[in-house]
Amino acid sequence: MKKPIYLDNQSTTQVDPRVLKAMLPYLKSEFGNPASTSHTFGTQAGKAVEESRAKIQKLIGAEEAADIIFTSGATESNNLAIRGVAELYRDKGSHIITTQIEHKSVLNTCEYLKAHGFQITYLPVDETGLIRVSDLKRAIRKETILISVIYAHNEIGVVQPIRQIGAIARAHNIFFHTDAAQALGKIPFHVGNSGLQLASVSAHKMYGPKGIGALYVRRKNPRTRLVPLLFGGGQEGGLRSGTLNVPAIVGFGKAAEISKKILNSESKRILKLRERLRIGLSSKLDEVYVNGSLEHRLSGNLNVSFAFVEGGSLLDALSKKVAVSTGSACASSGTEPSYTLRALGVSEASIHTSIRFGLGRFNTEKEIDDTIRYMVQVVKKLRRESAVYERHLKDNIK
């Protein structure tokens, strides 16, 4: 059976064949444990890990390769960053600032800390999905120890003003963390220029393997210290104990190396595809609304509400033709309305009609044209069956 067109690249990406090729030796002959330094199996594995660490360092503009701490993914990195700062610096303050539209791994970590005596401020966003810098400034208190703002959003693709936020955090001597899982490898990203002390990233959002991520921890000017979540053999500078996943780390490094080389050209190509999709849909269908800023947005993201069509019915009708999503794939409950779209002020009816298209490296113009054709067919069919849409047409005629 022919597979559907894959347009869910914010959920996960296909492993690039070049990444898989780089990983294979470390699943076969190069199987050593990097902690075993008394023989060549271990030293070769250790060398591969450090080479990958350096590739990720270069992609994000970190000062040192040692600033990169390997984890199981961005969810673990977010937990380590937020809890690590909160628990170590509690004597300094117990106030954390984040946003209403963070990934669940940030929101739930903050809720955990709130239950343990921390004060959390959740910044609202405007109708485009951007925070207001003035709101951030007003939220800062003398006991504020951490600001955590998502870099690029997983549902609506909106990119926050990270440099501005970093400058504010620096001026107030507050730690600044970002969940950069969706930003890495897709937009220019330099931790030094952004004023970040902490940044969470993941390989599987950028054509690397699942189950491997990293946390950038600035070690100089200023040094950032954390309480670890895991204890054991002291790997990763004592911040993340456990035997390193060498094949996945090698894959992450290769994915970072590829992304650094083609970031600009790939972003331009994907943007053209996205605009082809957006214009194609809006020119052939009425009552189509883009959610979130088009100006400040990842090139591969398009979140659209199709009025008078229920999103679940649309997904069911498309399932054999196009793989898309109604929201975050990292939330276990697929039926829960998007809290992100609600924060933007999108109506409940429109939230239930929203579809997220995630375009990526392996999508083609033909796939986009086929998707437009399928979408138009399905939306028109579902609307013909909708009494609400029929009423809407009659009201407009009047």
Q: Supply the pLDDT for residue 257.
A: 98
Q: Supply the pLDDT for residue 398.
A: 56
Q: Supply the pLDDT for residue 333.
A: 47
Q: Supply the pLDDT for residue 335.
A: 56
Identity of the amino acid at 259: S
| 247 in the same domain as 282 | no
DSSP 281-298: HHHH-SSEEE-S-SSSB-
| 163 in the same domain as 122 | yes
Measured in residues, the chain has a length of: 398
| 273 in the same domain as 219 | no
| 300 in the same domain as 179 | no
Closest CA to 355 of 277, 295, 297, 283: 277
Please identify, among 258, 281, 313, the residue that sits at the C-terminal boundary of a domain.
Answer: 258
Q: Are 72 and 211 in contact (CB under 8 A)?
A: yes
Bond before 188 cis per omega within 30 degrees: no
Q: Supply the pLDDT for residue 327.
A: 61
Which residues carry out catalysis? 330
| 222 in the same domain as 197 | yes
Q: Are 387 and 310 in contact (CB under 8 A)?
A: no
Instruction: Output the domain CATH number for residue 199.
Output: 3.40.640.10
| 236 in the same domain as 297 | no
SS3 391: helix
| 214 in the same domain as 135 | yes
- 152 CB contacts (<8 Å, ≥6 apart)? 158, 159, 160, 180, 182, 183, 186, 187, 298
Ranges under pLDDT 50 in the chain = 328-333
Alpha-carbon distances, residue 285 vs 244, 381, 390, 396 (angstroms): 50, 12, 15, 16
| 149 in the same domain as 183 | yes
Q: Supply the pLDDT for residue 337.
A: 82
Please identify, among 233, 258, 283, the residue that sits at the C-terminal boundary of a domain.
Answer: 258
Structural domain boundaries, residue 164:
17-258
Q: Supply the pLDDT for residue 328.
A: 46
Please identify, among 258, 289, 310, the residue that sits at the C-terminal boundary of a domain.
Answer: 258
Instruction: Output the domain CATH number for residue 303.
Output: 3.90.1150.10
